[in-house]
């Protein structure tokens, strides 16, 4: 099974900050990686597929990069609506999610 | 617009079964697979398996083999997830999600609102 490791688990930041979340796969997954945002009591929302493809309607301050085993999600200038938990998901072989990164207000 | 609407919360005793439904609308039901993902309280997301409505082919995560069954009713554009022999650690919110595929690689794009299943004696 492919394991996904996200870091950090918790990130404290302020509005306007640039933040980066990292996701590492235990084996090669090419570019088959997605990112989701989840707010308390809500279903996950797809932000990015295939490492860097932004979903329709997702603000351009979100971006993704990487390949192989290491990937990043970057938010260029944090907005109040961005404080949430973020998950990566590999879909090279079935699905595995990272453990999540909680983005908190500093 | 794509919508997945799930059935309501359930409370079950250990050893019982639960069946959660997921009504799809806004797209051609048989053209997209459906995944089921669960989330225990305060925990992360765990993929359980998926089903292809056009032929009912399924793939289940190994840990659920033997007590999980996914089915669909194409006339009702509804997917179902049944989990048997429930234990307290099956207490979770269960989500259905639509699979979007490119070649053999699929990811989940639209999600249902979630169904809380509580297992308690």
Q: What is the pLDDT of residue B104?
A: 80
Residue A53 burial (CB count, 10 A): 12
Q: Cα–Cα distance between B96 and A42 in angstroms, integer? A: 13
Q: What is the pLDDT of residue B103?
A: 78
Q: Cα–Cα distance between B109 and B18 in angstroms, integer? A: 25
> Is the pLDDT at B53 greater than 90, yes or no?
yes
Q: Which residues of B touch A34 (CB under 8 A)?
A: 107-108
Q: Cα–Cα distance between B33 and B75 in angstroms, integer? A: 15
Q: What is the pLDDT of residue B102?
A: 82
Chain segment B3-41, per-residue pLDDT in tens: 999 999 999 999 999 999 999 999 999 999 999 999 999
Chain segment A61-103, per-residue pLDDT in tens: 999 999 999 999 999 999 999 999 999 999 999 999 999 999 9
Query: Closest to A97 (Cβ–Cβ): which among B47, B110, B112?
Result: B47
Chain B nearest-CA distance from A42, in A, is 7
């Amino acid at each position: 099974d492919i394991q996904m490791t996200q870091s950090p688990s918790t990130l404290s930041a302020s509005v306007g900050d640039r933040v980066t979340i990292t996701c590492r796969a235990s084996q090669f997954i090419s570019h088959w990686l997605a990112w989701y945002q989840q707010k308390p009591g809500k279903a996950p929302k797809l932000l990015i597929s295939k490492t860097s493809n932004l979903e329709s309607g997702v603000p351009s301050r979100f971006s993704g990069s990487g390949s192989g085993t290491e990937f990043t999600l970057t938010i260029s200038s944090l907005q109040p609506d961005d404080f949430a938990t973020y998950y990566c998901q590999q879909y090279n072989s079935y699905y595995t999610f990272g453990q999540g990164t909680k983005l908190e207000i500093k | 617009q794509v919508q997945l609407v799930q059935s309501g919360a359930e409370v079950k005793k250990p050893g019982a079964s639960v069946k959660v439904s997921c009504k799809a609308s806004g797209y051609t039901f048989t053209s997209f697979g459906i995944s089921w993902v669960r989330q225990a309280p305060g925990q992360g997301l765990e993929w359980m398996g998926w089903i292809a409505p056009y032929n009912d082919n399924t793939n289940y995560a190994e840990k659920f083999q033997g007590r999980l069954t996914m089915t669909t009713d194409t006339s009702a554009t509804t997917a179902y997830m049944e989990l048997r022999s429930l234990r307290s650690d099956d207490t979770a919110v269960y989500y259905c999600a639509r699979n979007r595929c490119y070649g053999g690689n699929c990811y989940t794009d639209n999600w249902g609102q979630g169904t809380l299943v509580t297992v308690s004696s």
